[in-house]
Amino acid sequence: MNLRAVAAGIALLVFTISVIGIVVGAVGLYYAFTGGGPREFSTALKFVALYSIAALLSLPVVLGFRRVQTGITEGFVIIAASWLILPLVSSFSYMASVGFSFVDAYFESISGFTGTGLTVIARPQDMPRTVLLWRAVTQWIGELGVVVISGTFLPLLHRVIKGIYEVERGARIAPTVIATTRRLFTIYVVFTVVSTVILVAGGMNLFDAVTHSMTAIATGGFSTRSESIGYWRWSHVVVVGTMAISIIGAFNFADNDLLLRGRFRELLSSSELRWFLALLTVVTLATGGAYVLFEKGTDPLTAFYVGVYHAISGMTTTGFQIDDLSHTADQIKIMLIVGMVIGGCTFSTAGGLKIKRVALAIKNVVWEAASYFTPPTMMLRRRLGKEPVDDAYMRSVYNFMFVYITTLTIISVAVSMLGYRFIDSLFEVASALSCVGLSVGITSMSAPLAVKLLLIAAMYLGRIEFLPLYMAVGRLYVRKLRVV
């Protein structure tokens, strides 16, 4: 492993977010000089100063190792380390600007970069706009991928970027990695702008519309209000608009590219998209029905409306809420957990098991059942859409599902042992592990330290899809074989 390549990759990602942090601070200074007051000015100034320091410290490493070629091995290490280091850098801005403790600052930072949306801030509306904008930006760049931003604006560093991108995103929608990052960035910006226009038309001010558009397309869920989208519950345009943009955010980027290009016939032929829409419909109707049955004292239409919103928010792993979930019936929580666990499409901003894995697991049940009635001379062709599926790929699907469910169970049991009901613990951990953000009230600044650390671990592992676990287990097993 080339340690210089690892250093160059991590420094590049730190430099990228530092430049963005300086821009956010500059925007905060604008708000300070246009009525934001001394607190806004102080916060913005600290952002500019802190991220300027981070940029100056990381830039020499980037320039010094800019010709180093990053391979897949280095890419794995960079990704595993950077998703811990980037939130660490961000946490200093929270501590300096609003006085968070280190754990709370780190929790908020990793929740942002992983696109989770769980927050320890009880009243976001009392925070400086610089902080609110930074929270939205961390989700926006974190879910797209910091390496995509780097590839878009720093193409000369393609040697360093290539290996990181291959591990972080892998799939391409253009011939080269740099061309792909530019295409992804364009898709992201276009949908963010469209969403902003819709939310402004629905009654949001421009700042709220921009921040919520960022977190909606990123399927992140941070809000500028403690009531989340429930603050604009009266606006059907806002409610429906956030649902629509969240669904688009959970699409595969390749499908979003087809959508923007108007190639609807190809879009509708996407097997993963069809599976996603089918499963989303089933989960949404089931959750809406559960709300009607178990939310006593609420008229059926309103209950169904709320259920549909939360089901879409959960399965797209966005995490916006229009109602308090802490007193929701357990049956409804179970339906929402199912949606959060399934998640969105592969190569998207969404988390969870991902639609492709779930679809293959379902289809494999049919294939195995059919094999009992298949003559020995006949071979079943296993395909998802036009893509052939072999035994090795199915093993990877079941391995991932096993690791996900095991991790979900272990962390949920650990949280429940700290005094919470198991169903609530399962809900909160599923939200963290699938990078959703829906909460039943466990996450807060007053939550026990152990709970915060367990949820941080869940968010980290869920975002990078258990990469460190695979690396550690694989490395130990190989070493064991060598000893034997």
Cα(13)–Cα(399) distance, rounded to whole angstroms?
A: 30
What is the rounded average pLDDT of the residues 363-388? Answer: 87
Condensed to tens digits (0 to 9), the pLDDT of residues 450-470 reads 999 999 999 999 999 988 777
Gyration radius (Cα) of the chain, Å: 22
Cα(50)–Cα(131) distance, rounded to whole angstroms?
A: 13
Q: Which amino acid is at 41?
A: F
Q: Which amino acid is at 302?
A: T
| pLDDT band per the 50, 70, 90 thresholds, residue 400 | very high
Q: What is the pLDDT of residue 483?
A: 61
Q: What is the pLDDT of residue 157?
A: 85
Mean residue pLDDT of the chain comes to 94
Cα(325)–Cα(332) distance, rounded to whole angstroms?
A: 9
Return the closest-CA partner of residue 144 out of 94, 87, 182.
182
What would the two tokens of residue 190 be? 């276009």
pLDDT over 80 (residue 346):
yes
Return the number of other C-beta atoms located less than 10 Å from residue 123's C-beta.
8
pLDDT over 90 (residue 480):
no
Condensed to tens digits (0 to 9), the pLDDT of residues 91-112 reads 999 999 999 999 999 999 999 9
For the chain, first and last CA: distance in Å?
24
Alpha helices in 202-235 (DSSP H): 206-217
The residue to which tokens 């100034």 are assigned: 45
Q: What is the pLDDT of residue 348?
A: 94
pTM of the model: 0.96
Out of 18-32, 33-47, 111-125, 461-475, which region has the weakest mean confidence (pLDDT)? Answer: 461-475
Condensed to tens digits (0 to 9), the pLDDT of residues 30-74 reads 999 998 899 999 999 999 999 999 999 999 999 998 888 888 889
| pLDDT band per the 50, 70, 90 thresholds, residue 484 | low
The residue to which tokens 């609530």 are assigned: 424
Q: What is the pLDDT of residue 372?
A: 85
